Amino acid sequence: MLYFVWMLINRRFSKMEKYYIGFDAGTQSVKVAIYNLQLECVAEQNYPTHLYYPKAGWVEMNVNEYLVAVKQGMKDCVEQMRKKGLDVSKVRAIFGDGIICGIVGVNEEGEAITPYINYLDSRCQEDVENLSAQNLTIWAEETGNAVPNCMFPAMIARWILKNNLAFQKEGKKFMHNAPYVLSHLAGLNSKDAFIDWGAMSGWGLGFEVYKKEWSDKQLEILKIKKEYMPKIVKPWKIIGSLTKEIAEFTGLPEGVSICAGAGDTMQSMLGCGLIDKNMAADVAGTCAMFCVSTDGIKPELSTPESGLIFNSGTLENTYFYWGFIRTGGLALRWYRDNLCKQEGVDEYFDILSQEAEKIPVGSNGVLFLPYLTGGNTECVNACGCFLNMTMDTNQATLWKSVLEAIGYDYIGVTDTYRKAGVNLDQITITEGGSRSELWNQIKSDMLDAKVKTLQKAGGALITNILTAAYAVGDISNLKEALTSLLKIKKVYSPSEKNTKYYRNIYTLRKDLIQNKMQKTFEILKEIRE
């Protein structure tokens, strides 16, 4: 009897509810969830993605894997809603985010005809070096990015145009992964190809960041025809509605509004509270990113030496810089899957961290270099490796050294910010890595800053829900709604002793990588090839 009363109340309440679908199409997984306007998750589903390595330094994906995962995720979430007695017809909008540094080439029908190549790939390195040698100032002036980078879609597009026969014959547009999925949900083709103004800046080169337009001058230099570029729209623009075919497959009503979506980095920044200038955040995802919000391009940060990337945010007139470790979070997954043989077992991260808490600061001298897909500007030929192991080295020691490795690279990034006068006394951490108390404390010690986590650490996914609600007029002030998310869960304070220790090792490690091991890396590259 009580069950039927509960069901009656639940159904009556659900008639007043509004629901929104958000998806996060990331490097390691696709997350799909349905939330109500109170930001209560009513259904969610995760699916792993797959990376392929056809050659050394090459990393490819199948963009249709994202589409399949999102469709299946929506179907599974709809089933979860129905089991709870919730009204699926109240789903109002779909909003997705995706990788900002990655593209696929599509034909006239909007179907993929090239592999999806993202920021982990380094096949463009030689082209990057040749283009950088021209010392052009237009990049920094119009985009905020001082030099080309092999992770930029602009460079990937140049490679595809030169080397991919399918695109040379049939190619019509370059698209990011989230817009590719969203356009298929709405039944669009290449003529309708779009990108939001935040993900646009993920191209790295080829655009004017303040005007939110493609740059004719830059595209001419890059030798990329403007006709290949998608139209630039606002993230909350309704680009179409759910097709009958997809509706029948998922169980959703036909005609649900589909938004243009946004870049994963931009949405994560909103989830961290980087809504105003002079705020700092660590996005502990696959590509570990350290971000600082500004009111625009800062010449002292937009330099070849800084190694920083400049982007436009989801909200109007918001901008931020970020330094990165390309295989930050991916190195953690690699360690779990390949060395520990615990593929897909997320709980194993907690087991590793529990054991690593017993290991002294500095991992008994063991160093991990996280350059599993290639080096950085300071050492192009660097590769991933463990150094200084002994017979006492165990799984927990190696795991802690992996966590510390990301922090060491972050020290270099934060030094750049601080030299430019950026205040980093307090840093917000979000995404999956924020759940590790050990890693949060390590970062606080290494960066000599207070680190805070949020009660809602969903990052991009939750901000997708709010942006979807804004797109269909269910909330009137997106910035205010986002601010309501910023409730602190815990604050970590640095240990002066540990900070001093890490700074000393950082100096020794930097000299090792940039100077003493340069020849070693060159020899190792010859062996790999």
Out of 105-109, 240-244, 294-298, 480-484, least confident range: 480-484
Predicted pLDDT of residue 144: 97
Residues 49 and 133 in one domain: yes
Assigned domain for 27 exists: yes
Residues 302 and 240 in one domain: no
Residues 477 and 368 in one domain: no
Predicted pLDDT of residue 14: 44
Residues 69 and 171 in one domain: yes
pLDDT at 7 over 60: no
Q: pLDDT tens digits for 367-389?
A: 999 888 777 767 778 899 999 99
Q: Model confidence at 457, in pLDDT bands (50, 70, 90)?
A: low
Q: Model confidence at 399, in pLDDT bands (50, 70, 90)?
A: very high
Q: Identify which has the larger pLDDT, 77 or 344.
A: 77
* First-to-last C-alpha distance (Å) of the chain: 71
Residues 217 and 227 in one domain: yes
Q: At a CB cut-off of 8 Å and minimum separation 6, what does 369 contact?
A: 382, 383, 384, 385, 386, 387, 405, 513
**Which of 202, 227, 260 lies at the terminal end of a domain, its last residue?**
260
Assigned domain for 306 exists: yes
What gap in Å lies between CA 377 and CA 94, rounded to an integer? Answer: 39
Give the residue among 229, 403, 207, 209 at the shortest CA–CA distance from 294.
209
Residues 379 and 504 in one domain: yes
Residues 29 and 99 in one domain: yes
Predicted pLDDT of residue 352: 95
CA distances in angstroms from 164 to 114, 374, 399, 520, listed in the order given? 7, 23, 39, 34
CATH number of the domain residue 358 falls in: 3.30.420.40
What gap in Å lies between CA 129 and CA 143, rounded to an integer? Answer: 19
Predicted pLDDT of residue 136: 97
pLDDT at 127 over 80: yes
Token pair of 61 as six digits: 């994906």
Residues 135 and 118 in one domain: yes
pLDDT at 9 over 60: no
What gap in Å lies between CA 206 and CA 200, rounded to an integer? Answer: 9
Assigned domain for 209 exists: yes
Q: Model confidence at 272, in pLDDT bands (50, 70, 90)?
A: confident
Out of 164-168, 194-198, 510-514, least confident range: 510-514
Q: pLDDT tens digits for 305-364?
A: 888 999 999 999 999 999 877 666 788 889 999 999 998 898 999 999 999 999 999 999
pLDDT at 33 over 90: yes
pLDDT at 284 over 80: no
Give the residue among 215, 208, 107 at the shortest CA–CA distance from 166.
107
Residues of the chain with pLDDT > 90, as a percent, come to 75
The helix or strand, by DSSP H or E, that contains position 189, with its residue range, turns out to be none
Residues 278 and 387 in one domain: no
Task: Give the position of tokens 């625009």.
Answer: 296
Token pair of 456 as six digits: 């809602």
Q: Model confidence at 2, in pLDDT bands (50, 70, 90)?
A: very low
Assigned domain for 7 exists: no
CA distances in angstroms from 469 to 129, 163, 259, 466, 509, listed in the order given? 44, 42, 10, 5, 47
Assigned domain for 5 exists: no
**Which of 227, 260, 293 lies at the terminal end of a domain, its last residue?**
260
What gap in Å lies between CA 357 and CA 91, rounded to an integer? Answer: 44
pLDDT at 97 over 80: yes
Q: How many domains does the chain have?
A: 3
What gap in Å lies between CA 28 and CA 380, rounded to an integer? Answer: 24
Out of 185-199, 271-285, 288-302, 409-423, least confident range: 271-285
Q: Go through 464-477 and write b for each residue having 16 or more CB atoms within 10 A of its CB, e for each that does not.
A: bbbbbbbbbeebee
Q: Share the mean pLDDT of the chain.
A: 92
Q: pLDDT tens digits for 210-252?
A: 999 999 999 999 999 999 999 999 999 999 999 999 999 999 9
Q: At a CB cut-off of 8 Å and minimum separation 6, what does 39 contact?
A: 456, 462, 465, 466, 485
The helix or strand, by DSSP H or E, that contains position 412, with its residue range, turns out to be helix 395-419
**Which of 260, 293, 309 lies at the terminal end of a domain, its last residue?**
260
Q: Identify which has the larger pLDDT, 465 or 428.
A: 465
Residues 422 and 344 in one domain: no
DSSP state of 230: P
pLDDT at 8 over 60: no
Predicted pLDDT of residue 35: 97
Assigned domain for 6 exists: no
388, 367 contact by CB (below 8 A) = yes
When pLDDT is averaged across residues 135-157 and rounded to a whole number, the result is: 97
Q: pLDDT tens digits for 157-192?
A: 999 999 999 999 999 999 999 999 999 999 999 999
Residues 162 and 246 in one domain: yes
Predicted pLDDT of residue 76: 98
**Residue 137 CB-density burial (10 A; 0-12 exposed, 13-18 middle, 19+ buried):** exposed
Assigned domain for 94 exists: yes
CA angle 25, 26, 31 (to 5 degrees): 55
CA angle 107, 249, 4 (to 5 degrees): 155
Residues 250 and 395 in one domain: no
Q: Kindly give the pairing relationship between strand 231-233 and strand 238-241.
A: unpaired
Question: What is the extent of the structural domain holding 354?
Answer: 328-411+497-528
Assigned domain for 8 exists: no
